[in-house]
Chains A and B, each alone.
Chain A
Amino acid sequence: MTERYTVNESALGALVAAIANSGRRVLGPKKVAGRIDIGELTSFAELAKDGQSMVSAKGTVFPKVERLMKYRYAGKDVVLDDVEPGAAPTVLFGVRPCEAHAFAALDVVFNWDYKDKFFNTRLANTTVVAVACTQADESCFCTSVGSRPDDAAGSDILLSKLKSGGYMAEISTEKGKAVVALAKDVFQPLTGSADVVPAATVAPAFDAKALEQKLATKFDNPVWLEQSLRCLGCGACAYVCPTCVCFSIEDEADTRQGHRLRTWDSCGLRMFTLHASGHNPRDKQSQRWRQRVYHKFAYYPDRFKTLGCVGCGKCSRACPVDMNLKQHLAQAAQTP
């Protein structure tokens, strides 16, 4: 049952302070040296209110490096030491609805056939306060993947700017209510409608369901080679993406002890599918590019009944050679 409040702009500073005082760290998009990074927010003023961060906030639940366990030799025995996830209570403040939406796509993998304690502990300790978008850019395509710039799905609290100043706050979870309780005076109960600033206009670029069906017959189509000629095969798109979840396991050790790490990995990298035999089933960039598209738009819906993409456009903005995913998908959807 969604609770609705209004919050004054000036009161949001008090909210951020109250959250920090409760022992939670506040992370959100902030301007640093001309970029927008995800960083520690000490005030509401620090929040970047236009645009979105280049990297996603997935690092709060799925860090780029995470220690899973340690081991050491004790005489002839090997001793395994479990590692507890370092999950500081966190409020993600000021992320976009697309970002909030993305945690579900990570969740289906991390709770698939094995319940990942690292992801789950971190997610349980993370509260998501999203801000609805009143502007979008040419890379955005949330409306093509079943979402909207003012979608509350996935957020514990959604803030929408009011025409008169301040924000409407929609609280849809217990976690959200717990944050409200930290600064009750800041939240004024709202009855009736609120005059919100209209959400950004994001014209749909393709129909995701139709695309999924089309992909079923386009595996050997030359369009993948065409689209991937400029692709450099780096991991930029996968690493900034809030839904990309592939990882590698690395051991770092000497002759006495070591630890096992989980790190981000990308299907765009050549070595992703390289076998120990030397065979590589995806040896060409076109195969790897096709995999990215199919994984997010065909395999994910087939297996998990949800898309593996939230249309945030971070991949397109981060790509050194402008592999604009929205354009590529619109083209693929129209491939005869």
Chain B
Amino acid sequence: MEELKLKAKQLLAAGTVKVVIGYGTGTGDVRRPVFVRSADKVDDLVFDGSCTQNLATYLTKVEVRAMGRMAIVAVPSTLRSILQLAAEKQLREENVLALAMLDGSMKELAAFDAIEETVATIPDAISATDQAMMDKLTAMSVGERRAFWAAELNRCVKCYACRSSCPMCYCERCTMDCNRPQWIPVASHGIGNLEYHMVRAMHLAGRCVQCGTCGAACPIGIPVHLLTFFAEGTVRRQFGQKGGGSAKLDYAMSTFKPDDKEEFIR
């Protein structure tokens, strides 16, 4: 953590970056996002095992980008998000500096290549709790699974905390807010909730870095991250492509290859 503060101090004092996006102490025991813009405020930064939220969502926030070059305290999922954002042309290499926090030490990563190399050495990790839940859901019959999600999604209030906290949901005009035509119902009834979450999972299939921030953000306690985990997992298995692996776009859902093994497409 001291390494991080020292680096942040240097970067800000020299003007190399205009803001360090990191974690700070919040209410009680929580960690909250902080935006340090001067060298004398680096003590606002903390880093420990409670710093799990994926902060990459701020890399596309207008007010933050407007500050200038950004440094970001990066857990592995944040590094993956940076790559996916780069692949989707949402980030320029010169505008972001990753301060990767890995195994208790800090690594400065300026180039997307360097981030790719680092990410390749980090195993994908879904938490034991989440894996157990996914296994439980997979073992259910279709009817049981439908009942589970109907009950969970019935409680959804369409606050969009999931969408807002996700680094990959950066669209200024979300297709689900469109009303000409109205693709899905806006209202927070059963079908409105179900369709919203289904569409979001499909829009993230192949782009999701499985950080779980969406599920953590839900104020109602619905494990929405499991939906995107499943969608992403399916793409990885079926297509061998994944979200957050490379700064070059490799997106199964929108790529046609002439040597596609499926016959029906010919």
A157 an interface residue at 8 Å Cβ cutoff?
A: no
Range, interface on chain B: 35 or more
Interface hub of A261, A284, A286 (most chain B Cβ within 10 A): A261
- Tell me if B35 is interfacial: C-beta within 8 Å of chain A: yes
Min Cβ gap B264→A in Å is 32
On whether A264 and B157 interact (CB within 8 A), knowing A236-B219, A320-B217, the answer reads yes
Q: Which residues of B contact A64 (CB under 8 A)?
A: 157-158, 188
Q: Does B160 interact with chain A (Cβ within 8 Å)?
A: yes
Interface string of B218-259 (1 = CB under 8 A from A): 011100000000000000000000000000000000000000
| A225 lies within 8 A of B63 (CB) | yes
* Distance of A272 from chain B, by nearest CB (Å): 11
Which residues in B have their C-beta under 8 angstroms from that of A134? none
> Judging by beta carbons under 8 Å apart, are A320 and B186 in contact?
no
Taking CB atoms and an 8 Å cut-off, the chain A residues in 201-237 that contact chain B are 225, 228-230, 232-236
Q: Does B216 contact A (CB under 8 A)?
A: yes
Specify the chain B residue showing the minimal Cβ separation from A323.
B32
Please state if A234 and B185 are interface contacts (CB–CB under 8 Å). Answer: no
Chain A contacts with B in 245-273, Cβ cutoff 8 A: 248, 250, 252, 261, 263-264, 266, 269, 271
- For A271, the chain B residues whose CB sits under 8 A away are 177
- CB distance B187 to A261 under 8 Å? yes
Q: A234 near B26 (CB under 8 angstroms)?
A: no
A316 proximal to B (CB < 8 A): yes
Give the CA-CA distance A193 to B53 in the complex, in Å.
51
Which residues of chain A are near B177, meaning CB under 8 Å?
271
Q: Is A172 an interface residue (CB 8 A)?
A: no
- Offer 25 A-B interface pairs, CB within 8 angstroms, sorted by A: A65-B187, A65-B188, A137-B28, A229-B33, A230-B35, A230-B58, A232-B161, A232-B217, A234-B159, A234-B163, A234-B165, A235-B159, A235-B160, A238-B159, A239-B157, A239-B159, A250-B185, A250-B186, A261-B187, A271-B177, A284-B63, A286-B63, A320-B165, A320-B219, A321-B32
Residues in chain A within 8 A of chain B (CB atoms): 33-35, 37, 54-55, 64-65, 137-139, 225, 228-230, 232-236, 238-240, 248, 250, 252, 261, 263-264, 266, 269, 271, 284-286, 316, 318-322, 324, 327
